[in-house]
Amino acid sequence: MSNGPANELLQSHNLRKTGCRQGILDILGQSGEALTENEIKEKLDNRHDRTTFYRTFKTLLENHIIHKIIIDNQLIKYALNPDSEIENDHVHFYCKECEKLVCIEESSSMDINLPRGFKAAETEIIVKGTCNTCSEK
Amino acid sequence: MSNGPANELLQSHNLRKTGCRQGILDILGQSGEALTENEIKEKLDNRHDRTTFYRTFKTLLENHIIHKIIIDNQLIKYALNPDSEIENDHVHFYCKECEKLVCIEESSSMDINLPRGFKAAETEIIVKGTCNTCSEK
DNA sequence: TTTATTTTTGCAACATAGTTGCAAAAAATT
DNA sequence: AATTTTTTGCAACTATGTTGCAAAAATAAA
C-alpha cells in the first residue's frame, strides 16, 4: 500500500508519512468523488482513533491537500485537491438523489454584482440538482 | 413586544404565536444581518430551553420563514427570508474581517457549465471577502 | 544500524451540537 | 369556561469535535 501519489504529496509538503495520512489520501485518490468522514473511516476498517482522524484532516486541510465541502444540513464531505492549490472559485455539484458530490472543473462564467465597497476574495458555489446517472432514470 | 411583522408571519403560515417564535423573528427582523444561534439566544436573555430553540428553528426553516447559512468551518447563521419564498439562487456575502453575513439582492449573472446530463435545481453562492465598512479602514 | 530528537498517536476526559420521549403548560377551538 | 391540540421544558442520549499527556512511530544524527 501507498507508494504512489500519497507519499509524494506528503513529502512535497514536508509531512511525515503516517498510516492515517496515507490511508486517507489513498482512499480519496481512488474514489473520484468526495466522501464523508465515516465513509473514509469505514474503508480504512476503523483502524485509527477518532482523534487522530480529526487531527489528520486538519493537517491535510491546512496544507491544502484536501478540501472540505459542507452542504445544507451539516453534511460534510472531503475531496482531494488535485494540485494542492489554493483555489478561489470552486464549484461543487451535489446530487440530491444519490447524494454524490463532485467537483466541477471550471469553464463557467460568473458575474456577481456586489454592493458598493464590497470586495470579493473567494467564491464558493454549490449547485444542487440531479447528476447524470440519476437524470437518466 | 411582537405585534408587528412576527405575528403576521406566523399567522400566514398557520403557526401558533409562541414566545420563542416571536422572539427569534423579532430579533432577526430588527438586525439587518444574519445571526448565530447564540447571538439570538443572548438577545433573548436565554429565556428558552435549548430544545425549544432547535425545534423552533426547525419549524421556521420548514416554513421557509428563515434560512440557514453555513460558512466554512461550521459557522452557522440564520437570517430572515423576506417573503418566505423558496429561493433558488441565493447569494450570501461573508466578511472575513467582521464576520458579518449579508444576503445580496440579485442582479448577478451566472452561467455555470455543468457536465452533460447534470441538471441544476438550486445554486448556493457564498462570496467571501471584505465588506464595505471593513474595506474603508 | 543504533541512538537521539521530533512528531504523531491513542486514550481519557471534556465541550458543544443536536435529537427523542414524555408529562406539564400554553395556544387555539368550541 | 372547558376541551383539544400544539408547544414547552426536562432528562437522557448520540454525534461531533477538542485538549493534555504519556507511549509509540517517523525522521535525523551519530
Digit-coded pLDDT (tens) for B48-88: 999 999 999 999 988 988 877 776 544 555 555 555 555 55
Q: Would an 8 Å CB–CB cutoff place B126 in contact with chain A?
A: yes
> Quick one: cell of B39?
447571538
Distance, CA of A105 to chain centre: 13
User: Closest Cα to residue B97, out of B74, B136, B125, B131?
Assistant: B131
Distance, CA of B113 to chain centre: 28
Q: Which residue's C-alpha cell is 448556493?
A: B124
Instruction: List CB contacts (< 8 A) between A112 and chain B.
Output: 91, 104, 108, 110, 125, 127
Judged against a pLDDT cut of 60, whether residue A95 lies above it is answered with yes
Q: What is the pLDDT of residues A65-88, one digit of tens each?
A: 887 777 654 455 555 565 555 555
| CB contact burial B91-129 (16+ within 10 A = b; e otherwise) | bbbbbeeeebbbbbeeeeebebebeeebeeebbbbbbbb
Instruction: List CB contacts (< 8 A) between B98 and chain A.
Output: none
Listed as ranges, the nucleotides of chain C within 7 A of a protein C-beta are: 7-13, 17-21, 26-28
Whole-angstrom Cα distance, residue A61 to residue A67?
A: 6
Instruction: List CB contacts (< 8 A) between A119 and chain B.
Output: 129-130, 135
Dihedrals phi, psi of A15, to nearest 5 degrees = -110, 145
Cβ separation A127–B130 shorter than 8 A? no
Listed as ranges, the nucleotides of chain D within 7 A of a protein C-beta are: 6-12, 16-20, 25-27
The reply to whether the predicted model has a pTM over 0.75 is no
Question: Least CA distance to B124: which residue of chain A?
Answer: A126
Closest C1' nucleotide to A57's CA? D17
pLDDT at position A81: 60
* Nucleic strand C contacts from chain B, 7-66, CB < 7 Å: 16-19, 37-38, 50-51, 54-55, 58
> Quick one: cell of B51?
430544545
Contacts of A117 (CB under 8 A, 6+ apart): B131, B132, B133, B135, B136
pLDDT at position A123: 84
Cβ separation B118–A129 shorter than 8 A? yes
Q: Would an 8 Å CB–CB cutoff place B55 in contact with chain A?
A: no
Q: What is the pLDDT of residues A32-59, one digit of tens each?
A: 788 888 888 989 988 999 999 999 999 9
Instruction: List CB contacts (< 8 A) between B116 and chain A.
Output: 132
